[in-house]
Chain A
Amino acid sequence: GAVVSQHPSRVICKSGTSVKIECRSLDFQATTMFWYRQFPKQSLMLMATSNEGSKATYEQGVEKDKFLINHASLTLSTLTVTSAHPEDSSFYICSARGGQYQETQYFGPGTRLLVL
Chain B
Amino acid sequence: EDQVTQSPEALRLQEGESSSLNCSYTVSGLRGLFWYRQDPGKGPEFLFTLYSAGEEKEKERLKATLTKKESFLHITAPKPEDSATYLCAVQRWSGGGADGLTFGKGTHLIIQP
Residues of A within 8 A of B (CB): 2, 4, 6, 32, 34, 36, 41-46, 49, 51, 59, 91, 93, 95, 97, 103-110, 112
CB distance from B105 to the nearest CB of A (A): 5
B45 contacts A43, C-beta separation under 8 Å: no
CB distance from A30 to the nearest CB of B (A): 11
Main secondary structure of the interface of A (DSSP, over half): strand
Residues in B whose Cβ lies below 8 Å from that of A105: 34, 46, 98, 100-101
In chain B between 35 and 78, which residues have their CB closer than 8 angstroms to a CB of chain A?
A: 36, 41-46, 49
The 10 A-B residue pairs with the shortest CB-CB distance in the complex, in nearest-first order: A46-B100, A107-B43, A43-B103, A44-B103, A43-B105, A110-B43, A107-B44, A109-B43, A34-B100, A93-B43
* Whole-angstrom CA separation of A41 from B98 in the bound complex: 27
CB distance from A83 to the nearest CB of B (A): 25
* Whole-angstrom CA separation of A93 from B101 in the bound complex: 13
A49 contacts B36, C-beta separation under 8 Å: no
A103 contacts B41, C-beta separation under 8 Å: no
CB-contact partner of B45 in A41, A49, A103, A107, under 8 A: A107
Residues in A whose Cβ lies below 8 Å from that of B45: 107
A-B contacts besides A36-B100, A93-B43, A104-B46, 20 pairs, CB < 8 Å = A2-B46, A32-B97, A34-B100, A41-B105, A43-B4, A43-B87, A43-B104, A44-B103, A45-B103, A49-B97, A49-B98, A49-B99, A91-B41, A95-B101, A103-B32, A105-B34, A105-B101, A106-B46, A110-B42, A110-B43
**Chain A, Cβ-Cβ closest to B49:** A104
Residues in A whose Cβ lies below 8 Å from that of B106: 43
CB distance from B68 to the nearest CB of A (A): 20
A49 contacts B100, C-beta separation under 8 Å: yes
Residues in B whose Cβ lies below 8 Å from that of A46: 100-102
